[in-house]
Structures are given as structure tokens and as C-alpha cells.
Structure 1
Amino acid sequence: MFEFKKTTHHQKRRMMIRALVAGAFVMVCFLGLAARLWYLQVVRYEGLAARADRNRIAIVPLPPRRGEILDRNGVVLARNYRDYTLSVTPANMDRDVAQMLDDLGHLVYLSAGDRRRFVRNVGQTGRYSSIVLRNNLNDVEASWFAAHAYKFPGVELSARWVREYPEGEAAAHVLGYVGRISEADQDMLEKEGRLGNYRGSNTIGKKGIEKTWEEALHGRTGIEEVEVTATGRPVRTLSRVDPLPGANLHLSLDINLQKVAEAQFKGERGALVAIEPRTGEVLAFVSAPSFDPNLFIDGIDVENWRKLNESPDHPLINRPLYGTYPIGSTYKPFVALAALELGVRSATERIPDPGYFELGGQRFRNAGGAVYGPTDMHRAIVKSSDTYFYSLGPEIGVDRLHDFTKQFGFGQITGIDLDGERRGILPSKEWKRKTYKKPEQQHWYAGESVSVAVGQGYNAFTLLQLAQATAVLANNGVYMRPHLVSDVEDVRTGRLKPTVTKPMYTIPLKPENLKVIHDAMADVVRVGTARAAFKGATYQAAGKTGTAQVFSLRGERYRADQLDERLRDHSLFMAYAPVENPQIAVALIVENGGWGATVAAPIARTIFDYWLDPDRRRARELAADAVGAVASGGLAGVEAAEAKIRDAHDGNAPDAPRHTPPVARPETDPASTEAGR
């Protein structure tokens, strides 16, 4: 009996211990759960609450409307329109890609190219990235898909702003184009801290004004917080920050003048830049041949890319900025001015011109074998005597010529608001030492100064540099930075902010020396090498013709008809008008065109005739008054400008001054052959 009671006592004790251990274990578990609950509810509350909100709140970026680009008269050159696009997030699809494309093809048209491009992008892009399937859906397709969107999880219909260039190829190298944001673009934006502002945007400026003014044109991205269901369907908008549209850019370019200039290059390769000397505003900027920037907006197709990229005429190259050329005799006015300013030679000193200049036993001949006899500076410019300028080269010296002409912009970055500008080559002794490695090549020879003085040799300048130098010369040495964007418009207030308001510097030039050059260039047009091109003009222009060699003749005679077309001489011309009050300066080149007097000069005449037409000048003046009144923000100013325009239409406005044809001077010399090879 005693043993039984003892066994029962031990059993109860073991049961009690087990119960206590089990209770303690349960208590520890509950304490662990409580601690975990406290940690999640208290310590991690903010982070987890935010994550929960993100699960039900979608942050939707609202891309801004890109700013428009307009010419100086308000003609829209780059604008936006709304269209619809279909994009797919592969991770959210409920079927394979092929099946999805087949099912979707019953609702909207999908071309074979759309399918191939999408399948390729799926393989190259992450599963959670949104991939564009098709752009430019019309309203019927968009509404039809919207009604059946629930059948296609992962497929999204969205509206977007699309860039358009209504003038097509006109001014394409100025405007540039936008294109899809690439990985390189993303890296650049991230490095600059601007990537966040491009959420929701899929295009960025790639070339031209679209690229250099990208930050102003793009605007600021907005944000919308949307409550969504578990399947991602929007329920309601919680908050919204509207996007700020990009600024509108007003160009100094006149699209009508641009088209007139481009029409002169049909079938030709070349470049032309027209500048208003007083302000530095670029009035026309031609690179021929051109291209259609609309091809690049959604990615250019293979066929069109091959045509542009493999064309021997290289239409994608911006010739005024990127092409560098010897500029031939158009360099002579600047060499002559250097001689006067440096005191090397007076304007009245006569130099014998037997048709050649001899140095070190080598003869440098005039173009066409022309002989001009005793020649002063005025006659040398008018008749384009190579011999006169050959002799100037060693007297001035390459370093002094370099230091003087660089002030006009030769061999320098002008700072125009376009990307891709090249510096070119303005030779000097130091330049040659740095360029060549062999000691015998580093030495500067006197004969090289001879070639440099007539715009040949190592000289290699862009057409923009020649146009800018011409504008500075016309403006009596006042250097205004060349620019295409004249005003930036704040679309919220309508205020216009000018981009260039004062000169960069002024070259100290003596008025009497400038007069020598201006008078000589005016006589180039009156009685010299360009007289035929400007016969009958109602204004007086001043200019200089030029013909530049593509390769060295090495003493042989030039025969254009025996050369390949691309080896023939370049045709050049630089000029400004009117002489008494220059309103436009032009420089142009027709590649492999031949004589500057017969090919390039007539093009400049066409440009001047258009721009200096009295009726057009008066219309531009009235338009400028109206724009100025709007920019000042004053209602009275706007009303006054409108009244002035009404008066002009009623015939009450005073007539713009007309330039009477100059009295032609009697020609004392027979027709000369264009020089400056």
C-alpha cells in the first residue's frame, strides 16, 4: 500500500513538472509573438505602413508637354500632338508572348515589324520594364482596346505627347530631333541628377536645338498618386502635382529666308550662314543636302537609316559647324586689314604683279595666269590679285596673322547654341610644332606663309567662322556671339527672355583702315569679280569671291572637265549689305562648284534680294515692334503696336527707306579672272 502511494506521488510530481515546462514554453512562445508584434507595430510601423500604402497607391509620373520652337515670325517649327500608345509589362501578363500578340491582334492592328521589335525588346529588357508595343493608335483603336482592356493584364493604353516637325527637311540641322532615351542618355541624366525629371518620358533631344536647349524644352515632370486595386486597376486619385510645360524657344531664324536659301542648293552639296551683324542673330543656316527629322522620333527604320548613313553626300553632317574648308580669296580682306593694322603695308603702296610671286626659286602664280601690273591694296582686293597677297604672307608672318584673324573668330569655337562645332585650323608656328612629331616637319617655312595668305595651305575653317568673321567686319569689329535662339518664352507668364544682349568684345580697329576694306569690297560687287552677279541690284553690297582647291595641283594646270566632280574646286562667297547700314552678312560654299563669282555669288544675290526687299523689311519692323511690346508685358505697348500695324495696312505708316541703285563706276580694267585658288 505504501509503495502504491509512493508511485502515485512521483507520477503527480512528474506531471506537474511537465505541465510547468509546457506552460513555460507556451509562455515564451506568446512572449515571442508579443515581442514580434510590438516590433512590427511600433518599431517598424512607419516603414511597413508606407510599404502597405505603396501596395495600394501607385505613383504615376506625368510627363510635361515639350516646349515649341518657333521662327522669328512666330511660325511653328517644332510642335507636339497627342496620340495613344500600347505598352506591355511582361511580368504582369497571364499568357505567353505569342498568344498575347495573337489575341491582341484581333483588337488593334499589329504589323509584322511591331511584333518582331516587341519580341526582340522582351529578350533585351527586364520583365518588370514597360515595353512599347505600338505607337500612333487612332481614336477608334484606342476606344476599342479600352473596352476590352480587362482581358489583357499587363497591357496598358496611355496617351503621350509626340514631337512633330511640320516644315520637314527645312532647317533640319538647326532643329535637330528627339529620339528614344537610350542607356547612355539615362547614365548621363543620372550623373547630372536629372533622371527623376524624366520618369514617364521616353524621348530626349538628340541633335540640334532639341539637344542644346533640352533642359529648357523638357519642362518639369508632375506626379499623381492613384489608389489601385490588387490587380492594379485605378480607383481614385489621392493627390496630383501638375507637370510644368517646357519653355517655348523663339529662333532668330526666318523660315521663309531659310527655304529660299535651301532652294539654291537643290542637287548641290554646300553650306550657307546668314547673320545680322548688329545682333549676332542667325537668319539662315543651311546644310545641303538635308534630311527629315520626323524619321527619328520613334526610331528610324533600317531602310531610311541606310539611305542617310550610306549616302555619299552625307546629309546628316552639319556642314556649317562640322565641315572645315580652305576658304580661298574670301580670306584676303582680313589679311589686308591685318597688314594695315600692323603697319606692314599702306593701302596706297603699289606692288608689281607680273602674274606670279617668286620665293626661293619657286613661282606662285595668279589664278588663270592673270597679270595685273602695279597693284595697290584696293585693286588687289577688287581684282583678287594672288600675287599681291602672296607677297604679304612672309611680310606679316604667320604668327602675327594668326593673332590678328583669331579675333574675328577664325580657328575658334564661336559658341553658337548648337552641338558639334569644330574649331578648325588657324595655323601658327606653335600649332605646327604641336601637330607634327618629326623635327623636320615642325619647322615653319616662308613658302607656307605664302599659301596661308591667300586662304589655302593649312587653313581650314568652318563656314560659320567665315560668316561670323564677315559679320564682325561689317559691324566694324564689334563681336556679337552668333546665336539661333533669340528669346526664351515662359509659357506660364508669356514673358520673353533674350539670350544675347551685349557684345562679347570689340576689336580695336582704326576707322580709316576699315574704310579701305569696306570700299574695296564694295567695288568687288560694283566693278570687280562679283559685278555680274549683282548687276541691277537696288542696294549696294560689299563682298569677296573665292575659289578653293580641294587638292594640290603641284604646278600642273587646273582642268575641271578632266577631274572627278568631287575633286573640283569649291566655290565660295562672303558679303554683307547694305554697305552704309549692314543688315545681313552671308558666307556660303558650294562644294566642288567651281568659280566663286559664277556659282556662289548669285546665291548670295538671291538671299540679299529677298531679305532687303522694302515691303518685307517694313513688315519685319512692325512685327519686331509687336514682339517687343509683348515681351515688355505692357497692354498699352501691345495696343500701340496693333495700331501701328493697322495704320500700315491702311497706308498711313511712313514708307521704309528705299535704297536707290548706286551709280556704276566706269570700268577701267577688262573683266578679270576669279582668283584665290
Structure 2
Amino acid sequence: LTRIFFLTVIQNVHYTTLSKTNRQKILPIAPIRGLIYSSDGVILAENKPTYSLEVIPEKIPDIDQLISKLREIIHIDDKDVERFKRLSNKKRRFERVPLRINLNENEVALFSINRHLFSSVDVVEGFNRHYPLGREFVHSVGYVSRIDENDLKKISKLGLDSNYSATNHIGKLGIEESYESYLHGEVGFQKVEVNAEGRVIRVIERTDAKPGKNIYLTIDLSLQKVAIESLNNKKGAIVAMDPRNGEILTFVSSPSYDPNAFSSGIDNQLYQSLLSSKEKPLINRVIQGKYPPGSTIKPFLGLIALENGIKNVEEEVWCPGWFSLEGHEHRYRDWKKQGHGYTNLSKAIIQSCDVFFYKLAYELGIDQIYKGLSRFSFGQASGLDINDERIGLLPSREWKRRSKNEAWFPGETVILGGGIPVPVRLIV
């Protein structure tokens, strides 16, 4: 009797607390990711309701046997199994792992009827990121994909483990990556009562998650379509900016690819085909492609010449259709075979006279060109709010000596053309 009194009265609070701990759990609630729109209000990234079949590996003694039984009522192919096992190795064994994603209503109903046969398997309702205009905007919008080990390390380093406790996907490229903290939202929590099998019986207390914020891009859909049609799936990039305020109106890299394959879990075969493609669609040519600037550099050279007093606006140069350095026979040809005749700076820019700028570059010299173009931020990052931009090349005497251990030659100044910038650098 003394022992009973001790346990039921004296230790009542202690054992009641233990009992509640065993029966109650705190479960995180994933926030709804913010949407992404074009400047004219067209949805570029949305959240579609989905159902997935999820398993807790820790509670399954024989995974292969479980999969075999599930296949009797729901279609599960080898790629699903491969992805499941790969994800299982990356997660803790008590965490849920999706075995089949994007179940249709019939499959959900079939499993519900047979649910009593699978104590550690659940159909989980969630949202899948979807890109209605995927190929047209993938290089600007980017995509989300499953959180991997590197992502977990970054999340932990930032002290955001709790905020991502219910999140399976994270921004990997483009706006989705750059504005991850803005789009993600804040995790919610609910205190639930569970039975011996760990299933939720009732919700005791709930704090709703805060959805992520929506983002409106400056990209204009109609201009984007014109740029895409102009490239016609050929290799290249088109980027356009409003000079009045710096807004990016068009951002196209070609060829492209479908980001929805990544957000829903891309299979290895498709991923390898994208990696090995000769067209290199995964390269964002707007911020990673390096191209000679051609005639787009001519106005910059003109400004440098005016600032340094090398030329005035009215001074004319004779263009016979070619230019040669003194004492050299080699001719640097103009695009216009018969030449432009007498040409001043304004005419040279309007008609894109090569000979005028061959002479101008030679008169300026590599040192003044390098100094002048540096002031326009050539050879530096553009500051665009998309990660992974490559820095373009702005040649100089020091660069050539350092990289090639050679001196700079006058002919190289003539054909310099301003180096090899990435396309976005030319507009900002």
C-alpha cells in the first residue's frame, strides 16, 4: 500500500509528465512557398497540391517485402525504388521518405482502403513546385529541388535547422535560389496526440506556418517570347534592360530545358543526358557565357577617346575599307569592303565603321583602354541578383604577362574589341 501511495500520489506529477511525453509529439508544419510572377502578372512558379506515399524506414524490418506488397495495389516502378533508397541513405531513419510521388485520386483511394495493412506507410498531402512556362524562364527563375547534404550543411551553418524541419525542397538556381529566404516562409508547429503506432489521434495545439512572400520580376512576358523566337533554339543569349531604371526586361539563354523534371525529382538517366548534351542547355549563357563583344564595344572606346582628348566629335578619319599598322603589310578589314570614306565619331558609331575604331584603339593604347573599360566595370561582376555569374575577361599587359608570360603586341590592341565579357555585363 505504501508503494502504491508513493507511485500514485507522491510521484503522480512525474509519471503523468512521462506519460504525456510518450503520447504527445511536436510536429513541424511546412510553410507554403511564395509565388513568382512576371512583370505583367503571369505566374512563373506556383505550388500544385500533390499526394505522395511516404515510409518511415526505421519501422520497416524488410523494405523489399513492403515494396512488393505495395506494388499489388499501387504502381511503383524501379526508378521510384531507386530514388527511395537513394534518399533513405541521405536521411535519418526515423524521417519520412517518399516512395511514390504524384499519386492520382484513384491510387489514394486504393491505398486508403488497404491502409490497415501498412502501419508505417502514409499518404501525405503536400505541394509540388510547378513552372507553367518552365523552358522559357528556367535560366532566370531557376528551380527548387530536394534538399541534399550540402544544403543541410548550409542550413545548419545559418542556424535555420528548425525553419527547414518540415521542408523537403530548396531553391537551387536563379531567383528561386537568390531569394530563398524571402520565398520560403516560416515553419509552424502542432502538438499532437499519437497512439502506440505513432499515428496522430488528435491535434492538441497548433501554430500555423507563415507562407513565403510572392515575387514580381521585371521581365516582360511578351518581350521574353520575342527573344526566344529570335534565337529559335540556337546557342546564344539575349538580355535587355530598361536604361531609365536598370530593370531587366528580357533574360533568355538558349537552348533551354524543363525545370519541372528537377522539382519533381529528376531521374539519373535524364540528368546525365542534359549534362552530356552537345548543346549544353544547363549553362546559363546570360551570366556564364563568354563572348567577344564585337561592335557593342565601340561606343565605350569613343567615350574613352573623348575623355582623354584623343579625338573630338567632328574629327574625321579616312576609311578605305582596311587598316594596317605602320611598317606592316597585314590588313585589318572593315565589314564594308569599299570603306566608309571620311568618317567622324558619330558616323563611325552609326555605321559601325571598323577602320575608325581600329585606328582609335591603336591611338589609345592598351593601358588607356584597360583603365577606361575598368571604369565601366568590365572584368567585374554585374551585380545582378542571380548567383553563379562568371566574371568576364578584360585583357591587359599584366594579364598577358601573368597568364601567358608574353609581352603585349600593338596588333592585339587593334583587335582587342574590349575583351570577352558575359552578355549581362554589356548592359549594366
CA shift in 2, pair 1:237/1:267, >3 Å: closer
Q: Does 1:381 align with 2:345?
A: no
Q: 1:342 is aligned with what amino acid?
A: N
CA contact (8 A) 1:171 1:255 kept: no
Q: 2:319 is aligned with what amino acid?
A: D
Task: Indicate which of 245, 252, 267 corresponds to 2:218.
Answer: 252
Task: Indicate which of 384, 388, 395 corresponds to 1:420.
Answer: 388
> 1:492-507 residue pairs with structure 2 within 5 A?
none
User: Counterparts of 1:49 and 1:279 in 2: how far apart (Å)?
Assistant: 65
Q: Does 1:78 align with 2:45?
A: yes
Q: 2:347 is aligned with what amino acid?
A: R
CA shift in 2, pair 1:379/1:127, >3 Å: closer
User: Counterparts of 1:281 and 1:288 in 2: how far apart (Å)?
Assistant: 21
Cα deviation, 1:133-182, whole Å, max 9, x if unaligned, reads: 01111223223323432321211221111100011311111111110000
Q: Does 1:467 align with 2:398?
A: no
Partner residue in 1 for 2:313: 347
CA contact (8 A) 2:323 2:359 kept: no
CA contact (8 A) 1:91 1:154 kept: no
CA contact (8 A) 1:321 1:464 kept: yes
CA contact (8 A) 1:399 1:428 kept: yes
User: Counterparts of 2:88 and 2:39 in 1: how far apart (Å)?
Assistant: 45
Task: Indicate which of 136, 141, 145 corresponds to 2:111.
Answer: 145
CA shift in 2, pair 1:394/1:140, >3 Å: same
CA contact (8 A) 1:366 1:385 kept: no
User: Counterparts of 1:267 and 1:81 in 2: how far apart (Å)?
Assistant: 29
Answer with 183-192 or 411-420: which moved more.
411-420
SS of residue matched to 1:330: helix
Partner residue in 1 for 2:397: 429
Q: 1:221 is aligned with what amino acid?
A: V
Structure 1 residues without counterparts, runs of 5 or longer: 1-29, 469-677
CA shift in 2, pair 1:328/1:360, >3 Å: farther
Q: Does 1:363 align with 2:327?
A: no
Q: 1:332 is aligned with what amino acid?
A: K
Task: Indicate which of 379, 400, 404 corresponds to 2:368.
Answer: 400
Q: 2:414 is aligned with what amino acid?
A: V
User: Counterparts of 2:378 and 2:18 in 1: how far apart (Å)?
Assistant: 61
Cα deviation, 1:249-308, whole Å, max 9, x if unaligned, reads: 001111122112101111421110111111111111110111111111122123322332
CA RMSD across the alignment: 2.6
Q: CA deviation at 1:404?
A: 2.3
SS of residue matched to 1:390: helix
Partner residue in 1 for 2:276: 310
TM-score scaled by structure 1? 0.59
Task: Indicate which of 215, 218, 227 corresponds to 2:181.
Answer: 215
Q: Does 1:183 align with 2:143?
A: no
CA contact (8 A) 2:287 2:390 kept: yes
Q: Does 1:445 align with 2:405?
A: no
Task: Indicate which of 97, 113, 116 corresponds to 2:79.
Answer: 113
CA contact (8 A) 1:181 1:204 kept: yes
Partner residue in 1 for 2:23: 56
Cα deviation, 1:89-119, whole Å, max 9, x if unaligned, reads: 12213x5222212222233222232234334
SS of residue matched to 2:73: coil
User: Counterparts of 1:346 and 1:364 in 2: how far apart (Å)?
Assistant: 26
Partner residue in 2 for 1:618: none
Cα deviation, 1:484-503, whole Å, max 9, x if unaligned, reads: xxxxxxxxxxxxxxxxxxxx
CA contact (8 A) 1:364 1:390 kept: no
Partner residue in 2 for 1:648: none
Q: CA deviation at 1:123?
A: 5.9
SS of residue matched to 2:102: strand
Structure 2 residues without counterparts, runs of 5 or longer: none
CA contact (8 A) 1:357 1:387 kept: no
Q: Does 1:101 align with 2:61?
A: no
User: Counterparts of 1:172 and 1:372 in 2: how far apart (Å)?
Assistant: 43
Cα deviation, 1:599-642, whole Å, max 9, x if unaligned, reads: xxxxxxxxxxxxxxxxxxxxxxxxxxxxxxxxxxxxxxxxxxxx
Q: Which has the larger radius of gyration?
A: 1
CA shift in 2, pair 1:221/1:391, >3 Å: same
Q: Does 1:338 align with 2:298?
A: no
TM-score scaled by structure 2? 0.91
CA contact (8 A) 1:87 1:131 kept: yes
Task: Give identity over the alignment, percent.
Answer: 38
Cα deviation, 1:400-459, whole Å, max 9, x if unaligned, reads: 2223233334222111111111120122334344444x3xx1x3333322222x44xxx1
User: Counterparts of 1:268 and 1:185 in 2: how far apart (Å)?
Assistant: 33
User: Counterparts of 2:326 and 2:258 in 1: how far apart (Å)?
Assistant: 51
SS of residue matched to 1:380: helix
Q: CA deviation at 1:348?
A: 1.7
SS of residue matched to 2:358: helix
Partner residue in 1 for 2:249: 283
User: Counterparts of 1:282 and 1:162 in 2: how far apart (Å)?
Assistant: 28
Q: CA deviation at 1:362?
A: 5.2
Q: CA deviation at 1:460?
A: 0.6
SS of residue matched to 1:307: helix
User: Counterparts of 1:201 and 1:353 in 2: how far apart (Å)?
Assistant: 65
Partner residue in 2 for 1:225: 191
SS of residue matched to 2:415: helix
CA contact (8 A) 1:85 1:158 kept: yes
Task: Indicate which of 88, 91, 107 corresponds to 2:55.
Answer: 88
CA contact (8 A) 1:173 1:287 kept: yes
Partner residue in 2 for 1:571: none
Q: 1:410 is aligned with what amino acid?
A: F
Cα deviation, 1:172-220, whole Å, max 9, x if unaligned, reads: 1111111000011001110111121111111001111110111101101
User: Counterparts of 2:334 and 2:226 in 1: how far apart (Å)?
Assistant: 32
